[in-house]
Amino acid sequence: MRILVTGNMGYVGPVVVGHLRDVRPDSHLSGLDTGFFAHCLTGTTVLPERRLDCQWFGDVRRPPAEALESVDAVVHLAGVSNDPIGTTYEEATLDVNHRATVELARAARDAGASSFVFASSCSVYGLAEEGLRTEESETGPLTAYARSKLLAEEGLAEVAGEGFAVTSLRFATACGMSDRLRLDLVLNDFVAGAYAFREITILSDGTPWRPLIHVRDMARAIDWALDRTADNGGAYLAVNAGSDEWNYQIRQLADAVAAIVPDVNVSVREDAAPDSRSYKVSFARFRELAPDHQPQVGLPEAIEDLSAGLGRMGFHDPDFRNSELVRLRVLENLRGEGLVNEALEWSRADEPVARV
């Protein structure tokens, strides 16, 4: 199988590529990424891209036709990956996450691919105080990021059809170690705080619900979706990807970290405004459709693994929320240097696309 993974040089990508290489040793794996975070390696001495057969450097808004040639499947991770970036760069977020996603799927289909896997997000549900959100529940995206994911899903549903299965995996919030770790994700932030200065600061009152998924379990779900055909869920499928046990309240996550990392103080902002992102999600459909690719990592294991990873990095930055381990900060630094523009393009975007 020839698989193109876009956005492979971010946080999730290296874990996905590593997993696909392990479980599909004979596949041809290529990557396509614009490389915003290529330099943000964390605790690794070798480049994760070594496990690919080919790396393209380019923008998914203008994918090189050659990158799609003879491809059987696309795993589409490239995009603006959180609310803070989406709010700062709203137009670019819609352009990349919505328009370019649908066009890439169309181009992949026309080039003969049979499968397209899209990294969507449970944030499409917005605020959902009561009950578990299922795929039939009403959506209510609250941010440009969440809206862009939902619009992409709607466009993808139109592109799917006979011989071209499209799967939108509505991922819970990711966590866990990666060769390009992000600390702008709740559990990763807590473990970093605990590890670096024995303090976990909860920026809400701790009560919001948030489903989580480990990056290695995201990779397992993607592996399943790559082989999915229309007889298992239809030509187009949007499915929540995660597990019911991983619906946690923010405070529970902090306590779980404090139970593992010694001498940690947890502080809650009792006066904080309620977090608008509170939702519990049902993963029943995913359980039913993908029984052999269910999440396997436990929360204590995720925390221990992150602590070990931070140790390998020699991490001790108490100001990490303003560091290059935060995606928005990296983009702001690139912009400050005049390397990236407001459309989130390299300033010399018309350079030829490089292939390695």
**Interface residues toward ligand NAD, by CB under 6 A:** 7, 9-13, 33-37, 59-61, 77-79, 81, 96, 119, 121, 171, 173-174, 182, 185, 327
The residue among 146 and 194 lying less far from ligand NAD, judged by its C-beta, is: 146
Q: How far is the CB of 314 from ligand NAD (least distance, A)?
A: 21
Give me the least distance between CB of 15 and ligand NAD, in Å please: 9
Closest CB to ligand NAD among residues 15, 194: 15
Nearer Cβ to ligand NAD (159/330): 330
Strand (E) or helix (H) holding 330: helix 327-336
**What's the closest the beta carbon of residue 12 comes to ligand NAD, in angstroms?**
3
The nearest distance, CB 79 to ligand NAD, in angstroms, is: 4
Shortest Cβ 87–ligand NAD spacing (Å): 14
Rounded Cα–Cα distance for residues 121 and 75 (Å):
15
Shorter beta-carbon distance to ligand NAD: residue 10 or 309:
10
DSSP code of 123? G
Question: Shortest approach of ligand NAD to residue 182 CB, angstroms?
Answer: 6
Q: Could you give the C-alpha distances from 27 to 1, 77, 194, 227, 269, in angstroms and in order?
A: 5, 19, 40, 13, 49
Question: 221 φ, ψ to 5°?
Answer: -65, -40
Under 8 Å between Cβ of 142 and 170: no
Please identify, using beta-carbon distances, which residue of 25 and 336 lies nearer to ligand NAD. Answer: 336
Q: Using CB atoms within 10 A of its CB, is residue 31 exposed (0-12), middle (13-18) or buried (19+)?
A: buried
As a whole number of angstroms, the distance between CA 286 and CA 138 comes to 18
Nearer to ligand NAD, 124 or 159 (CB): 124
CA distance 277 to 210: 8
